[in-house]
Amino acid sequence: MSPEMHKTWEAACLSRQRSYSPYSHFAVGAALKIRNSDLSIGGCNVENASYGGTVCAERSAVFSAVSQGYQDFEFLIVVTDAEPPAVPCAFCLGVLAEFCPPDFPVHLANLAGVERSYRLDELLPHPFKLL
C-alpha cells in the first residue's frame, strides 16, 4: 500500500471508530484523499431511530469534504469489519457520481488493509445525471 493510501486507510479506520451504529452494530468508516493535497477527509455512518435519517460513512465523508471547500478527490477508502469488505450502497454511489469521474478509484478495506479495488463505473455503470 502506498504511503498516501495507508494514510487515507488510517483516516477511514479512525472514522469507523467514531461510528454511531446502535441499531445495526455495523460500523463503517470512509475517507477521501483530496487531490493535490496531503489531506484525507473521513466520515462515519451515523444511524437514526428513524432509519431514513441515517447517513452512510461514504456520504458523510463527501459532505464533510464539500462543506470544507473540497470537491476534487483522488480516491475513496471504505473500511468495515466484514469479509469480504462491504461495497457502498446505491445512494452513496450516486453521490460519488455527482463529484467523481467514472474511473474514480473506490477501495474496499477491512481492519487489516485494502482488499479490493474498483472503478466507480464498475460499481455504478449507469449513474443518474440530471444535465
To the query of whether residue 4 is one of the catalytic residues in this protein, the response is no
Q: Determine the Cα–Cα distance for residues 98 and 95; give it in Å rounded to an integer.
A: 5
**Phi, psi of 106, rounded to the nearest 5 degrees:** -120, 115
Kindly report the pTM of this predicted structure.
Answer: 0.96
Report the CATH number at residue 9. 3.40.140.10
**Which entry of 58, 83, 115, 122 is annotated as an active-site residue?**
58
As for how many domains the chain has, the answer is 1
Question: What's the pLDDT tens digit per position in 44-85?
Answer: 999 999 999 999 999 999 999 999 999 999 999 999 999 999
Q: Determine, yes or no, domain membership for 46.
A: yes
Q: Determine, yes or no, domain membership for 130.
A: no
pLDDT band at 25 (very low <50, low <70, confident <90, very high): very high
Question: What's the pLDDT tens digit per position in 97-114?
Answer: 999 999 999 999 999 999
For residue 41, which of 17, 71, 80 has the smallest C-alpha distance? Answer: 71
Task: Note down the domain range covering 75.
Answer: 3-123
Q: How far is CA 62 from the centre of its chain?
A: 8
Q: Determine, yes or no, domain membership for 94.
A: yes
Q: Determine, yes or no, domain membership for 13.
A: yes
